[in-house]
Amino acid sequence: MDGALDKPPRADYVPSQVSNPAPFPAETAWSAILRARDRANPERRKHLERLIAIYWPPVYWYLIRRWNLKQEDAADLTQELFVRLVEEEFLDEVVRERGRFRTFLKLKLRDLVVEDLRKRSAQKRGGLAHVIKIDASGKEPAWQGIQPDEAFDRDWALCLMNEAVGRLEREMKGQGKETALQVFRRCVLDQPPLSYQECARQFSLKEGDVRNYVFRTRAQLREVVRAMVCESVDSEAEAHGEFAFLTQLLDT
């Protein structure tokens, strides 16, 4: 997503194994969590699905990086974590004053790993309900010179950005801005991106029009991301802080 908000994250580092867990990242999504745990909320499932979509890839790779799990075991434990989130009173245990949501997830993951180690010698897991589709054959996201806790943050940022781009595409198609969307994709999102001059030739546009499309679409994407951030916090100050945090992740 080179230049989607401005700069892309680096992704050419394969993390080494980590034997001693480091502190978990400290971002959260309290408003979304409150909506997701409210069983009387008719849109509860949608909010659960949104939390799962953003958090399952970081959780999956975090288990592999930090706990040195095999992909199959990490996939099983990721499924189990989110099965409990959906089917049990899992989110009812979250209390904002007692810490951040990712700290809560860290504790749950640690408990799952310990529980799994105790069970492994006794029996093979089986029959676990699936609430998400995990592609265990996918390539691990790689980052340059960072530890697993920071890699978790960046994985989360990319998942949020992917969801934001999907939202942007649906929004712009509904607004009849498909040409601007395609220009933005070719000049910004695709790797390698086209130059403005190349894009102008491909779409039979003036180079100035290409620049305007990219400028306006980037601004619209930023507004989509801001809206998503506002859904996950309780105040304007928190929204500003989380958006700055996200931008910092994507800029480094």
Mean pLDDT of 186-209: 95
In this prediction, residue 21 carries a pLDDT of 37
CA distance 126 to 170: 38
In this prediction, residue 248 carries a pLDDT of 83
Mean pLDDT of 14-36: 47
Q: Which amino acid is at 178?
A: E
Give the pLDDT band of residue 1 (cuts 50, 70, 90): low
Q: Which residues contact 185 (CB under 8 A, 6 or more apart)?
A: none
Q: What is the dihedral sign for C-alpha 196, 198, 204, 206?
A: positive
Cβ count within 10 A of residue 80: 18
Cβ count within 10 A of residue 39: 9
The domain ranges of the chain are 30-251
Cβ count within 10 A of residue 178: 11
pLDDT beyond 80 at 124: no
CA distance 201 to 207: 8
Taking the complete model, does pTM exceed 0.75, yes or no?
no
In this prediction, residue 53 carries a pLDDT of 84
The alpha carbon of residue 175 and the mean position of all alpha carbons in its chain are separated, in whole angstroms, by 26
In this prediction, residue 228 carries a pLDDT of 83
